[in-house]
Structures are given as C-alpha cells and as structure tokens.
Amino acid sequence: MRTSGFKNTLLKALDRDIIERLRLKPVQFELKHEIESPGDPIDHLYFLEEGMASMTTTFKDGSQVEVGMFGYESVIGVSALMGTLKSLNRVYTQIAGHGYNCHVEDARREFRLGGDFQSLALRYVQAQLVQATQSAGCNAKHNFEQRLARWLLLCADRAHIDTFRISHEFLADMLGVRRPTVSTTAGILKQKGLIDYARGEIRILDVPGLTKASCECYLITKDYLDNYTKFDTAITA
C-alpha cells in the first residue's frame, strides 16, 4: 500500500512497509544548513519536503559554483548507496524548509533488497545526471539571460515558491559569473516584466514569459526531475 502525506517524490512512491524499514526522522533545514561537507562521511540520506539546497564545488581560492540543485524530488546522499563513503561536495540549504532523514545503513539495507527503493533511487541518480549534463551543456552554449531564467525557474519549481531571498552575489557564485553580470541581466528580466527584485528578494511575475526567455534546457531538466519515477520521459533533447 502506497504511503500518503509525503511531498517528496520518492517517499510518496514507496509502500508503507518500506517507509517503516527506513526509519525516517523529521528534520528542519534552516537557511545555510550544512547537509554535506567535502571529506565528511555520508551518515544519512535526506529527503526534502520543502525548501531548496545546492550542491557546490569549491576551488582552491575559496570560490564555489553550483553543480546540483535539490528540491522536493531529491534524495541527498544517494551516492552512498553505490559505495561512496565520504562526500565530494558541499551541500547546504539556500531556501529553508523541512523533510526527513534516515541512517545510511538502513537505506543500504533496503537498497540491497532490490525492490522499489533501489529502482527509484537509481532513477533519481539518472535524473541527477541529466540535470548535471544539461547544465554543463547550457553553460557552454547559451547566453547568461537564458541561463539565469533557467536557474530561477528550476529553483521556483524545486521549492514550490515564486518568491525567494537570493542576493546577486550569491547568484554570481552559483552561476560562475561576476556580480555586475547578474545585476545587468536581472535588470533586463525586470524591464521585460518577467521578474521583480528588491533588497535581495526575487519574485517571478510571468512564468510563461520567463520560460520563453530561458532555453530548452529548463523544460528538459524539469521533465526528468518531475517524472523520474516513470520509465520514460516526454521531452528529449
């Protein structure tokens, strides 16, 4: 029997007996809550219900850039099910929220049974790979206005909100550009009536318009993240 009451995509698709074996515990994610740090053991898997987290790669000069995004569809720490012992990246919340965690050994035990949890976890890994490869291609091919529109839309989708507090400095770090580039481009989107921003708060005003301003990468990524529990996807590159 399927469980009810969950917002997380994977948890919502699992039978009640699997949920019980995972021994989930509720977790609150404050802003900037550190979920994983490079070199630290992966002790728990995390399932976001609300909020958004970023996975970043940090360089020798201390700068970082986003290489992954997590929302209600996510299983943070899923690489531990494939044998990874220590985190390679930093993962921390950019939008506060809540969810659940389970001990990695409980998750590994369930994964080894080869049932629905294993199947869904592997499909989520595929969705992560699609997100990462599509983002890499997008960063190389598309202009920054398209990339910024894509990021804002994905962030809003993953967190189920249209208004969030994000500074231009943070966006510059996440997207690997200089802050003036973010300010100029956000100003263009604002002039077009697609977004509004003031004092570090961004509000999406026109989702269809912002989708049009983005590139095909947004809908491809969104489709995989929204539908990874199914075998097939409707949109291909």
Residue 76 has pLDDT above 60, yes or no: yes
Residue 231 has pLDDT above 60, yes or no: no
Are 132 and 150 members of one domain?
Answer: no
What does the alpha-carbon distance between residue 102 and residue 115 come to, in Å, rounded to a whole number?
Answer: 18
Are 119 and 77 members of one domain?
Answer: yes
pLDDT tens profile 181-220: 999 999 999 999 999 998 888 999 999 999 999 999 999 9
Q: Which residue has the higher pLDDT, 109 or 61?
A: 109
Asked if residue 72 is part of any domain, the answer here is yes
Asked if residue 36 is part of any domain, the answer here is yes
Q: Where are the beta strands (DSSP E) in 19-158?
A: 25-29, 34-36, 44-58, 64-70, 90-103
What does the alpha-carbon distance between residue 127 and residue 146 come to, in Å, rounded to a whole number?
Answer: 21
Structurally, how many domains does the chain consist of?
2
Asked if residue 236 is part of any domain, the answer here is no
Phi-psi sector, 176: left (phi>0), alpha (psi -120 to 50), beta: left
Q: What is the CATH number of the domain that holds 182?
A: 1.10.10.10
Q: What is the CATH number of the domain that holds 33?
A: 2.60.120.10
Are 111 and 187 members of one domain?
Answer: no
- Residue 36, SS3? strand
Task: Work out the average pLDDT over 135-154.
Answer: 92
pLDDT tens profile 25-63: 999 999 889 999 999 999 999 999 999 999 998 888 888
User: Tokens standing for 14?
Assistant: 């699992």
